[in-house]
Amino acid sequence: MIEFRNTEKVYPNGAKALKDVNFKIESGEFVFCIGESGAGKSTLIRLITCEEKPTKGTVILDNFELSRLQKRLIPTLRRKIGMIFQDFRLIDSKTVYENVAFAMEIVGSSKAQIKRRVPMVLSVVGLRNKADSYPSELSGGEAQRVGVARAMINNPGLILADEPTGNLDPINGEAILALLEEINQAGTTVICCTHDVSLVDLMQKRVLELDRGVLVRDEECGVYSDCIVERELNFERSDIDIAELDEAIFDNLRYEERKRLARREKQSAEIKSMIDEDRRKRRNRLSLAERIAKMRMLAEDIDLDDYEKRN
Ligand code: ADP
């Protein structure tokens, strides 16, 4: 999905942010990018989002060589990427609901799509009951969960998180990473830049380490400390109103089913069996990852419907 090939970035002031960096990230991976402040982590992210161009070498995303990408295609590329920032970057004058909805508005989603999808995603991050709150009324952990909801709302193939736990206490930091892991398990590639060593140890994912612009380590299941604390990620599931989320998902499945019945009998039969399967699974409680995967499917269906309407 992403490849850096002999990539170098020297800023106009002479600062060498990346030196001959080579790595490949496959679709569906979860990768930490670590390193001290100034190591080049943000530059690496900015090269992927086309905010900067490499001075040598190439960056490839989904088979596109980014430095050759026409300027007019950059917004299209960015729609495939969800961003999470250390300082949350929420719009203070908008509510939680409006902050997340805004990310759908700017990519041209319809009001109906927004109305269906935003409550579902807020349920996933455990913030349905904060939909009408303003950012100033949220804790840091809650604000970052809005950041996660906003990043996943358009069903991106890739999430780039730049120090997402930098302003959070360890418990909230863990909760955010647990959410990212669930989103990753539902199929989204995640790159998480951090210098939070304890969280990297805990997650045991692939680690890319930068040191003054040089990629000094590319390790599967990277671990930092000698003593790994064996414990489960302790994401507060009770925050999430599971029944409410299930209801929203099943409502949407039924809605989709009705639309399909009108147009495509074959597909509606498939959805129906999916609902039956879901009802069966419901007794065993779907994992959050499964719910997210289901929402991704719904979002794709909705896009398809729109596409067909327009064409
Ligand atoms: P990190 O995110 O790991 O802290 P950065 O990618 O922000 O690292 O920075 C890497 C190096 O590039 C640093 O030496 C920094 O001073 C320099 N740098 C980053 N952005 C710019 C810029 N816009 N102009 C000039 N130098 C920059």
C-alpha 205/C-alpha 212 separation (Å) is 22
Q: Give residues with Cβ within 8 angstroms of 126, minimum separation 6.
A: 145, 236, 239, 240, 241
Query: Taking the mean position of all CA atoms in its chain, how far away is CA 137?
Result: 24
8 Å CB contact between 197 and 225: yes
User: Whose alpha carbon is nearest atom 25 of ligand 1?
Assistant: 11
| 4, 7, 9, 11, best to mutate for ligand 1 pocket (most atoms within 8 Å of CB) | 11
User: What is the strand order of the sheet 81-85 is part of?
Assistant: 81-85, 158-162, 189-194, 30-34, 206-211, 214-219
pLDDT at 157: 93
Is there an atom of ligand 1 within 6 Å of 38 CB?
yes
pLDDT digits (tens, 9 = 90+) for 110-150: 999 999 999 999 988 989 899 999 999 999 999 999 999 99
* 106: pLDDT strictly greater than 70: yes
Is there an atom of ligand 1 within 6 Å of 39 CB?
yes
pLDDT digits (tens, 9 = 90+) for 9-31: 999 999 999 999 999 999 999 99
pLDDT digits (tens, 9 = 90+) for 156-188: 999 999 999 998 888 888 889 988 998 999 899
Tell me the mean pLDDT in the region 54-80.
89
Is there an atom of ligand 1 within 6 Å of 41 CB?
yes
User: Whose alpha carbon is nearest atom 23 of ligand 1?
Assistant: 11
**Nearest 5°: phi and psi at 282?**
-55, -35
Q: Give residues with Cβ within 8 angstroms of 107, minimum separation 6.
A: 79, 154
* Range 9-12, long-range pairs (CB < 8 A, 24+ positions): 9/40, 9/43, 9/47, 9/52, 9/54, 9/55, 9/213, 10/55
8 Å CB contact between 216 and 40: no
pLDDT digits (tens, 9 = 90+) for 19-64: 999 999 999 999 999 998 899 999 999 999 999 999 999 999 988 8
What sign for the dihedral angle of Cα 298, 303, 305, 306?
Answer: positive
* 299: pLDDT strictly greater than 90: no
pLDDT at 61: 92
pLDDT at 199: 83
pLDDT digits (tens, 9 = 90+) for 182-235: 899 989 999 999 988 888 888 889 999 999 999 999 988 665 543 333 333 334
Indicate the pTM of the whole model.
Answer: 0.77
User: Whose alpha carbon is nearest atom 5 of ligand 1?
Assistant: 40
8 Å CB contact between 188 and 26: no
Residue with token string 């730049």: 162
Three-state SS for the chain is CEEEEEEEEECCCCCEEEEEEEEEECCCCEEEEECCCCCCHHHHHHHHCCCCCCCEEEEEECCEEHHHCCHHHHHHHHHCEEEEECCCCCCCCCCHHHHHHHHHHCCCCCHHHHHHHHHHHHHHCCCHHHCCCCHHHCCHHHHHHHHHHHHHCCCCCEEEEECCCCCCCHHHHHHHHHHHHHHHHCCCEEEEEECCHHHHHHHCCEEEEEECCEEEEEECCCCCCCCCCCCCCCCCHHHCCHHHHHHHHHHHHHHHHHHHHHHCHHHHHHHHHHHHHHHHHHHCCCCHHHHHHHHHHHHHHHHHHHHHHHC
CA of 52 to the centre of ligand 1 (A): 11
Residue with token string 């719904």: 298
Q: Give residues with Cβ within 8 angstroms of 311, minimum separation 6.
A: none
Instruction: Point out the ligand 1 atom lying closest to the alpha carbon of residue 36.
Output: 3
